[in-house]
Amino acid sequence: MAQWTSAVGAAQLARLLTSQQDRPAGPGTRRPPAYRALADGIRLLVLEGRVPVAARLPAERELALALAVSRTTVAAAYEALRGEGFLESRRGAGSWTAVPAGNPIPARGLEPLPPEALGSMIDLGCASLPAPEPWLTRAVQGALEELPPYAHTHGDYPAGLPALRSMIAERYTARGIPTMPEQIMVTTGAMGAIDAICHLFGGRGERIAVESPSYANILQLMREAGARLVPVAMAEGLSGWDMDRWRQVLREAAPRIAYVVADFHNPTGALADEDQRRRLVDAARSAGTVLVADETMSELWLDEDVQDAMPRPVCGFDPAGSTVITVGSASKAFWAGMRIGWVRAAPDVIRSLVAARAYADLGTPVLEQLAVNWLFSTGGWAQAVELRRAQARENRDALVAAVRRELPDWEFEVPRGGLTLWVRAGGLSGSRLAEAGERTGVRVPSGPRFGVDGAFEGYVRLPFTVGGAVADEAASRLAAAARLVESGATGATESPRTFVA
């Protein structure tokens, strides 16, 4: 019986391999043989999770034609991968990807680094900061005081606790968006909210328009749901959306859903202006597309003058509530461990989402909902988020200075909010930098994780999660990783120093 569970076509694999562009070799630099370069490219795709484990690879002749290389080159590459444990084969069943014994199966998203690895590895994988104490402790204590009446009930609130729904609705109303509690559903984080929306509106095979680049974990969630992703390129720099491209995609592809992050976009940090928001809502309404606006970064402005200039929420341009569904969360602005998110939509949409929870997670933990409600109702939220902004601002400035010093040819614009820096890595492959970083002691996600079908190979994302001496050390380790990539080293190791701060 065949051991593979999916297949990668020759044309698709060729596109993924072609996207892996390294800086041209300098004088005296030796390029690896063609078969070795091909084997390394396939190995990187497996390690990145862009080619799944147990995926059947194309036959040697098919891949040779797609890459315009000799069949001998492909056969030698496959043989090298078999010897390294990244490929298994059986006569009559073909060849399929694998991982060597003892290696973890690569994740498709940005999973947190295990705590036991933090002593020797600087983690720039997750854009999340430690909890803003003492506010987490105070919120949990406040929640425990409010818990007894709820403990005498069944504890299942598929739409969320009424008190929290009312509080979230009041917060939207205070922002100039009149909202009733019936327009709110509390979810298990923003991921839970978007998963529910995708299952309601975006069945298997449905088109979903996404910014390009976009948040890696959301892209993977949509892929797992069977969606057909339609990428829409961002405007240059931090200027938000390219509305000509959005109008064209919505008109020609007619996607069922469009997913956008208008406020300090992840990963680029871009902030869409009011005119772009208005035009996108109008275009989505004309195309019959449900526009999902992710507001998880909306309160994380870092420069003081941005606060007064923040555009209206995307849902503010949809007074009838027929086009825009808004997703919010406590995870970025407060703490990733506080798995509370919410959806704001028309009441009939909320009723459909709530009904579907009977076959999903039933509801969100009561204690965490009470904690967030305590933060909202006491003013603790505002003070905690201000602490979060100060920490992110300090980290941003330290990381920017360190990267500019250690890697002066890397290019980026400094965002005025959010938690991430989107960096063009001086002509190097982001995938190879990520692999080399594992050896030099810094964990960094490569650009293709944030794109569709191999895009953004020349980028990496750096979150504002470290500052001070740790930011300096992270940049130093990135520079060491870059040197490994530039030298074409494979399997070489620069031992990371244990770093405690």
pLDDT by residue for the chain (501 residues), tens only, comes to: 346 666 888 998 998 888 665 444 444 456 789 999 999 889 888 876 678 777 889 999 999 999 999 999 999 999 999 999 989 988 888 898 887 875 555 444 456 666 665 567 899 988 999 999 999 999 999 999 999 999 999 989 999 999 999 999 999 999 999 999 999 999 999 999 999 999 999 778 899 999 989 999 999 899 888 898 998 988 888 888 999 989 999 998 999 999 999 999 999 999 999 999 999 999 999 999 999 999 999 999 999 888 888 999 999 999 888 999 999 999 999 999 999 999 999 999 999 999 988 777 888 999 999 999 999 999 999 999 999 999 999 999 999 999 999 999 999 999 999 999 999 999 898 888 998 998 999 999 998 889 886 678 889 999 999 999 999 999 999 999 999 999 876 444 444 443 333
- Are 255 and 205 within 8 A, CB to CB? no
**Residue 414 CB-half CA count within 13 A:** 14
Q: Is 145 exposed, middle or buried (0-12, 13-18, 19+ CB in 10 A)?
A: exposed
Query: Rounded CA gap, 37 and 44, in Å?
Result: 11
The CB density around residue 269, as the number of other CB atoms within 10 Å, is 25
Q: Is the dihedral angle over the CA atoms 10, 13, 19, 24 positive or is it negative?
A: negative
- Parallel, antiparallel, or unpaired for β 207-212 and 257-260? parallel
Query: Rounded CA gap, 77 and 254, in Å?
Result: 41
Give the tokens for residue 36: 């070795």
Q: Which of 187, 155, 166, 490 is nearest to 330 (CA)?
A: 187
- Are 419 and 394 within 8 A, CB to CB? no
Three-state SS for 197?
Answer: helix
Query: Rounded CA gap, 384 and 368, in Å?
Result: 16
**What is residue 37's DSSP assignment?**
H
What does each C-alpha distance from 191 to 90, 301, 343 come to in angstroms? 39, 22, 11
State residue 131's pLDDT score: 94
Query: Rounded CA gap, 316 and 274, in Å?
Result: 10
The CB density around residue 74, as the number of other CB atoms within 10 Å, is 27
State residue 27's pLDDT score: 47
State residue 107's pLDDT score: 44
Query: Rounded CA gap, 271 and 258, in Å?
Result: 17
* pTM for this entry: 0.82
Helices (H), 92-161: 135-151
Beta strands in 217-275 (DSSP E): 228-233, 257-260
- Are 122 and 479 within 8 A, CB to CB? no
Provide the residue type at 325 as one letter.
I
- Are 80 and 42 within 8 A, CB to CB? no
